[in-house]
Amino acid sequence: MRVMMIVLLLLAATMPVAGQDKKKKGDLRREVSIKEGDAAPNFTIKDADGKNSVKLSELKGKPVVLIFGSCT
């Protein structure tokens, strides 16, 4: 009984760590290292309607505001 409890505790302790290195299917995130003053890396997003794609490079020379955050 005691051995079973130890095994269960070890499994429970390692489960959250086990999947951290795996990316979810369709996850396109990548780590980009930039410094203050560097140009923003090029990326593509959908417009507010979700119908058209917009590349940051297409907006070169125009004012662009990037807002990072989340609403919960």
Q: Which pLDDT does position 22 carry in this prediction?
A: 58
The residue ranges of every structural domain in the chain are 41-72
Q: Which pLDDT does position 68 carry in this prediction?
A: 75
Q: Which pLDDT does position 30 carry in this prediction?
A: 72
Is 43 in contact with 57 (CB distance < 8 Å)? no
The residue ranges of the chain whose pLDDT is under 50 are 18
CA–CA distances in Å: residue 20 to residues 13, 15, 53: 13, 10, 30
Q: Report d(CA 52, CA 58) in Å as an integer.
A: 13
pTM of the model: 0.46
